[in-house]
Structure 1
Amino acid sequence: MGYSLTNSKEKVFISKSVMWVYFIPAILLVFSIPELEYEGSTFSKFLNLSLYCVFFMYAFMNMNKTINMFSGNKLLVCFILLIPFNIIFAYNPNITVQYSITLLGEIIISVVLAMNLSLKEWSKVLGWYFCILSLLNLIVILLFPSLGIHQDAIHGGAWKGVVGHKNSFGTLSVLGFVYFFVQLFMKKGNRFYNLFFVGINGVFILMSSSKTAMLIVIALLAFLFYRSIYNYFKKTNINLALSIGVFLALIIGLIGIVVYLNLDFILNAMGRDRSLTGRTEIYEFSFAMIKEKMLLGYGYGGFWNSPYQAIISDRIWLDLRSSHSGFLDIWLDFGLVGLVIIILIILAGIKKAIVLNRISRTPYLIWPMLFFVFTIINNITDSRFIHSRSIYWILFLVTVFIISKEIKQKGGYKK
């Protein structure tokens, strides 16, 4: 009898280990490779719909747990309730229905993952995901350069790996770089292993030629530096810690003034201009179109699959599929109502991440805050959030669900 119990526990442990190491990173990789997009081949559509159905069945079979996960994220429930109205008032209802199926599928997948993982376990999953993704990118770039390196006239020579575009490649490499840097900085795990992947992802960021990725990694490292200094002095003198915080804020403000006064010189050095490589013209056009459907937008995916897309593409000589701003695209797709809800979800997530940060300096507790900072910066001049199928949206949702669960388990905001 004792043997059976032990054997049963071993099976549960092995099953969960397999889920951590193989299954979940594989799911994340599916959403990282553009060739597997919902809008692709019949096989791709079947693969994605099958995936959504499996996770939906699991969520349905564990209805109580699913309801509990959503009960801690009422703002996200509001966003889901917005979807039917989004379809009804959509510019192209057929497109919006297809995109909405993908959106709901991603939400269900995220709920199930968060339901089965603690924040510490999620950190382990991310470690495997960034490890596998980094190695896949390296293999494709070295062995199949025609696939892993842009060959077109616009981005020619920039690395893109298996991700398909230099900006996505660069920003995902930022997440990998920061993840392993935190592990290295906190002296967790094998030092050589972490240093190896910090180096690889650092090279990826440089070779992607993504200025957005470079700015984000600088911002995240600055945030880590500030947090380390603040925590160090907080142990000895809280007033000194606050003084240092104010001092660093003044320094950042001065740097901002210097950058603004020398903006043209800095942008030219980065190969950019004040139009941000045509982005300001896209923004102006997007704002003009937003005024036409201010509250509820054009429906998810509706605007960039409409005649308006051809108008702006012809104007700037590029085949655009987004406004190059995640927040603008949310406004175009879901209107002001959707944008406000998403911003509130991010702010609520940041509040919960701050609470978790106060508990310990362990690496997995710093990740949510870093990821929310990343999400905000990344979506100012690029659209890498809720845009068709998106690994960024999956990572965001799982983080939101898990930290809500962690906060609830720790007794709310008491600590």
Structure 2
Amino acid sequence: MSDDVSERPRWLVGFLFVAVFLYLWISVRPFENLATASGGSNALNQLVGLAITGVLLLFAVHYQLLGLLLKPRLPIFLLFGWMLIASVLGSQPGTAIQRLVFTGLLCLITSIIAVLPSDRQQFARLLAIASSVLLPVCYAGVIFLPARSIHQAYDLSEPALAGDWRGVFNHKNAAAPAMIMLVFFGLYLRGSWSKWKGTIITLLAFVFLMKTNGKTAAMLLPVTLMLSWWLERHPRQVLLVVGGLIGLLNLFAVGSTFSSSIRDVVESLGVDATFTGRTDIWELSFVTFFHSPIFGQGFQSFWNTTALLDQFAVHETWAVGAAHAHNGYIESLLNGGLPAFVLTCIWLVILPARDLTKSIQNGAAPDLNRLFARMWIFALLSACLESNFFTGTGPIWSSMLIAIYCMHHQAHDQLCEANVASVSSKQRYPERHITHV
């Protein structure tokens, strides 16, 4: 068994990276027909996920990559361990545990994807290939299969979205952030792969983003770009700025649910103080949270369940029909109470902020720092209005995980060439490795 990443078959790495990338982003059901009730694709999706996990694990074992997976492990294991306890104590332990296991497998898959490429050049090329597959397919769907790529007035839910592009995704709210990520990829590829090809990817993704009519995602794009630019020059402020902005957004958004003063401030800014009806959902979420503030409801065991209908009559609030909390931080409270919320913030916010600070200060691959920072910041900010955490497959969650893993590797695993010689034999990776350049 080889311990040299240079001996990995490049064709195999390329195939695995692109195939798994597409699976993570679009799952097994592209171009879903929203005019009919969805079928049972979850079982197939989970079976494919299980098969992919097995293949990637074999690859990781053969090329001795296990030491790099699921880093940092302590907060991840503590969080999933606690949510397992909360799920066992919840109203639907079987379903909750099944969903938790699948989510854990996807966390493992993304940690392997983060270390698959042997160098930055290969990473950039594979990212370009994946983007160059996804974008044309989305545009081809709009042109040749509009009923499955554009929201229609006869869709079973949300007919008001008619005309908004969604491409291979099942909703414009999945397509819009996916295009944001592709914009980030294109900007990165302009400097690391090809200036004009990266520009084409950026422009195509931006045009598609505008056609999705995803206002929240579009609004967060310039905010994310400006934040990443600022933090690159002031790395000590990463946690303060990012954490402070998350807190401020949640204060104005969720706070408008319970405070008339905050609601007046939001309205004075010309913003819908209900955030398109989300305040009703957040009010219901907090009422539920206070029923069980320590253990929550169990992992993904509240929305669309009998537990919800047992607590609230349908006529009390329309929010009982919501699919999720429309806020990743509130969703963590429902999944596993306060402990899950704290551990989620430690894993997804605090530790990545520390890693990014350290990585920037040590001068580790500035172009990669910029890319991963943008992916991470956008995911955190968009989670203030959407439930983007622990979603299984999907562009935001999978991209965020890859960014977090890579930032951790850059900050902790031999950032500079001078440190390579000090690594133990089991953790020695050539300077060509993507996250160690």
Give the TM-score range, shorter chain. Answer: 0.7 to 0.9
The one-letter code of the counterpart of 2:10 is K
Task: State the shift of 1:101 in Å.
Answer: 2.0
Is the Cα contact below 8 Å between 1:114 and 1:402 reproduced in 2? yes
Structure 1 residues 67 and 312: alpha-carbon distance in aligned structure 2, compared to 1, 3 A threshold: farther
Is the Cα contact below 8 Å between 2:150 and 2:163 reproduced in 1? yes
Question: Partner residue of 1:140?
Answer: 141
- Between the aligned partners of 1:71 and 1:44, the Cα distance in structure 2 is 25
Question: Partner residue of 1:307?
Answer: 306
The one-letter code of the counterpart of 1:279 is R
Task: State the shift of 1:146 in Å.
Answer: 0.6
More displaced 10-residue stretch of structure 1: 291-300 or 304-313: 304-313
Question: Partner residue of 2:359?
Answer: 356
Question: Partner residue of 1:337?
Answer: 339
Task: State the shift of 1:226 in Å.
Answer: 3.3
Which of 24, 33, 53 is 1:31 aligned to?
24
Structure 1 residues 395 and 224: alpha-carbon distance in aligned structure 2, compared to 1, 3 A threshold: closer
More displaced 10-residue stretch of structure 1: 336-345 or 105-114: 105-114
Task: State the shift of 1:63 in Å.
Answer: 11
Question: Partner residue of 1:276?
Answer: 275
Is the Cα contact below 8 Å between 2:70 and 2:108 reproduced in 1? no
Which of 185, 193, 196 is 2:200 aligned to?
196
Question: Partner residue of 2:75?
Answer: 75
Question: Partner residue of 1:3?
Answer: none
Is the Cα contact below 8 Å between 1:70 and 1:77 reproduced in 2? no
Please tell me the root mean square deviation across aligned C-alpha atoms, in Å. Answer: 3.7
- Between the aligned partners of 2:313 and 2:123, the Cα distance in structure 1 is 41
Structure 1 residues 299 and 167: alpha-carbon distance in aligned structure 2, compared to 1, 3 A threshold: same
Is the Cα contact below 8 Å between 1:107 and 1:397 reproduced in 2? yes
Secondary structure, aligned partner of 1:282: helix
How does 1:166-245 map onto structure 2 within 5 Å? 166-184=172-190, 187-226=191-230, 230=233
Structure 1 residues 117 and 194: alpha-carbon distance in aligned structure 2, compared to 1, 3 A threshold: closer
TM-score by length of 2: 0.75
Structure 1 residues 82 and 133: alpha-carbon distance in aligned structure 2, compared to 1, 3 A threshold: same
- Between the aligned partners of 1:342 and 1:118, the Cα distance in structure 2 is 30
Cα deviation 1:296-327 (Å, max 9, x = unaligned): 21111101142355558763378421111111
TM-score by length of 1: 0.79
Structure 1 residues 42 and 403: alpha-carbon distance in aligned structure 2, compared to 1, 3 A threshold: closer
Structure 1 residues 183 and 281: alpha-carbon distance in aligned structure 2, compared to 1, 3 A threshold: same
- Between the aligned partners of 1:322 and 1:363, the Cα distance in structure 2 is 35
How does 1:14-413 map onto structure 2 within 5 Å? 15-20=9-14, 22-33=15-26, 35-36=28-29, 40=41, 42-58=43-59, 61=61, 65-67=65-67, 69-70=69-70, 72-117=72-117, 120=120, 122-152=123-153, 153-184=159-190, 187-226=191-230, 230=233, 263-264=266-267, 267=270, 273-307=272-306, 309=308, 311=312, 315-316=317-318, 319-346=321-348, 347-358=350-361, 359=363, 362-410=366-414
Structure 1 residues 165 and 301: alpha-carbon distance in aligned structure 2, compared to 1, 3 A threshold: same
Paired residues, number: 378
Question: Partner residue of 2:428?
Answer: none
The one-letter code of the counterpart of 1:345 is W
Task: State the shift of 1:57 in Å.
Answer: 4.8
- Between the aligned partners of 1:329 and 1:266, the Cα distance in structure 2 is 27
- Between the aligned partners of 2:169 and 2:53, the Cα distance in structure 1 is 22
Question: Partner residue of 2:424?
Answer: none
Structure 1 residues 338 and 62: alpha-carbon distance in aligned structure 2, compared to 1, 3 A threshold: farther
- Between the aligned partners of 2:324 and 2:408, the Cα distance in structure 1 is 31
Structure 1 residues 114 and 179: alpha-carbon distance in aligned structure 2, compared to 1, 3 A threshold: closer
Is the Cα contact below 8 Å between 1:119 and 1:403 reproduced in 2? no
Question: Partner residue of 2:429?
Answer: none
The one-letter code of the counterpart of 2:25 is S
Task: State the shift of 1:379 in Å.
Answer: 0.1
Question: Partner residue of 2:33?
Answer: none
Question: Partner residue of 2:427?
Answer: none
Task: State the shift of 1:66 in Å.
Answer: 2.4
Task: State the shift of 1:11 in Å.
Answer: 9.6
- Higher helix residue share: 1
The one-letter code of the counterpart of 1:283 is W
- Between the aligned partners of 2:46 and 2:365, the Cα distance in structure 1 is 42
The one-letter code of the counterpart of 2:110 is S
Which sections of structure 2, spanning at least 5 residues, go unmatched? 31-38, 154-158, 253-261, 420-437
Is the Cα contact below 8 Å between 1:69 and 1:405 reproduced in 2? no
Question: Partner residue of 2:434?
Answer: none
Secondary structure, aligned partner of 1:302: coil
Is the Cα contact below 8 Å between 2:22 and 2:134 reproduced in 1? yes
Structure 1 residues 67 and 144: alpha-carbon distance in aligned structure 2, compared to 1, 3 A threshold: same
Cα deviation 1:170-193 (Å, max 9, x = unaligned): 011111112212443xx4432221
